[in-house]
Amino acid sequence: MSISKEILTVILGGGAGSRLYPLTASRSKPAVPIAGKYRLVDIPISNCINSGINRMFVLTQFNSASLNRHIKNTYHFSAFSAAFVDILAAEQTPDNPTWYQGTADAVRQSLRHLSPFNSEYVLILSGDQLYQMDFHKMLENHKKLGADISIATIPVGSREAPEFGILKSNEEGYITSFIEKPKAELLPEWVSDTGDAMQAQGRNYLASMGIYIFNRKLLFDLLQDDFADATDFGKEIIPQSIENKKVVSYQYDGYWTDIGNIYSFFEANLGLTADLPDFNLFDNTNTIYTRARMLPPAKISGTTLEKTVIAEGTIINASRIENSVIGIRSRIGHGTTVNSSYIMGCDYYETLEDIQSDLITGKPALGIGNRCYIKNAIIDKNCRIGDDVRINGGTHLEPIDHSLYTVKDGIVVIKKGAVIPNGFVI
């Protein structure tokens, strides 16, 4: 049997994403734009397609309109194929009047939509992580060990370990113990043999990546009978299943980051500008799929570019752009400098008539104006930044939530659709 018929995928659309605010003020975490042209949800979907898995459900609840629209406009398969990416929005039903209460509850409420589709296994993924992984290898390991549940794990250091579920496994790969977000003083008891390469980097703890393979019948039994009141996989179902089920660890040694907050999101995007980035966009075997937009090539005039990723449809007249990601349809004016920033771009172009009207009314045009200086910033979609604006992010700035922008960890986030007047200074 081919892997596409063996396995169904459930991608969790995430909660309110409050730590990524203001990027999640009007969209869910999986819908947040990354790398100038993709959305976060494109990563798990692309990993599935590249692994030969093509039947996927995306569970959504918070701010889901833009995510639903993106998936509807992006993932179209042949009429002769059984492949699909379907949205399962949280819904109130006669037997369940509540919204999703956690990861396990979300999957439980969706079982009636999964049950008509034949499969031996169910793959459960998060919609807000950045990584490239072959799930076919994970499934082969699951079958080889005769597992009931497989958990993808990644070695982490002592600094990150308290943020994760940490586990220990025996020589065969079966997980023997699990602790959710251990306090620092407990860590010495949770050291694992992660391999010489990982130990040399100080990565001595096995952390759950929130990626699971369940035997289908077991998943249905656990959620409907054994743990009918459990709401979360990591806190309840996984730790209690270790005692009487075959739960195995599948160790992944590649790049993986959980886009949990503004700092990790910022670092992940700027990391793409490195000469050899940890996350490889230029990989023939790991294509990242997204909405196919019919946009012109980027047009750049008089600009010095250094370690910069530029998406299609951009019009750039800046003097210098360095260590930055410039998103689709971005417009950057003359004499402007952009350093260590992520410019998300725009959803549409202004016409010449629109720009003329902006001039008459004194409203900044869509994009970034002339003679601006932007450093350590995230400019969300459809912002209008006037001339001579200075945005200088860094640790010298206090955290603040202004009507036009938010400062977190020294990073200035200009809110979606904000209008920044000429000469504004942050």
For 79-98, the pLDDT digits (tens) are: 888 898 888 876 555 566 56
Of the ranges 115-129, 190-204, 304-318, which is most confident? Answer: 304-318
> Is 260 exposed, middle or buried, given 0-12, 13-18 or 19+ CB atoms closer than 10 A?
middle
All domains in the chain, ordered by first residue: 3-273 (3.90.550.10), 299-420 (2.160.10.10)
pLDDT over threshold 70, residue 224: yes
Give the residues across from 250 on adjacent strands.
Answer: 152
């790969």: which residue's tokens? 173
Instruction: Kindly state the percentage of the chain with pLDDT values over 70.
Output: 96
For 350-388, the pLDDT digits (tens) are: 998 998 999 899 899 999 999 999 999 999 999 999 999
For 10-20, the pLDDT digits (tens) are: 999 876 678 88
Q: What is the pLDDT of residue 94?
A: 57
Give the residues across from 332 on adjacent strands.
Answer: 316, 368
Give the residues across from 352 on adjacent strands.
Answer: none
Q: How far is CA 55 from CA 85, 123, 135, 178, in A?
A: 6, 10, 13, 30
Q: What is the pLDDT of residue 250?
A: 95
Looking at every residue in the chain, the average pLDDT score rounds to: 90
325 vs 180, higher pLDDT: 325
CB 347 within 8 A of CB 381: yes
């990242």: which residue's tokens? 288
Q: Which of 103, 4, 89, 118 is nearest to 51 (CA)?
A: 4
* Side chain identity, residue 141: N
Peptide bond into 188 cis (omega under 30): no
Q: How far is CA 221 from CA 53, 235, 390, in A?
A: 24, 18, 58
Non-local (6+) Cβ contacts of 326 within 8 A are: 36, 308, 309, 310, 311, 314, 316, 332, 338, 343, 345
Q: What is the pLDDT of residue 18?
A: 81
Instruction: Kindly state the percentage of the chain with pLDDT values over 90.
Output: 62
Give the three-state DSSP class for 114: helix
For 346-355, the pLDDT digits (tens) are: 999 999 899 8
For 254-307, the pLDDT digits (tens) are: 899 888 889 999 999 999 999 999 999 998 889 999 998 999 999 999 999 999
pLDDT over threshold 80, residue 99: no
pLDDT over threshold 60, residue 419: yes
Give the three-state DSSP class for 349: coil
pLDDT over threshold 70, residue 193: yes
Residue 121 host element (H or E): strand 121-126
Q: How far is CA 289 from CA 45, 71, 136, 209, 420, in A?
A: 8, 11, 18, 22, 33
Q: What is the pLDDT of residue 232?
A: 81
Non-local (6+) Cβ contacts of 366 within 8 A are: 331, 346, 348, 349, 350, 354, 382, 383, 384
Q: What is the pLDDT of residue 181?
A: 86
What does DSSP say about strands 405-408 and 411-414: parallel, antiparallel, or unpaired? Answer: antiparallel
What sign for the dihedral angle of Cα 193, 197, 199, 203?
negative
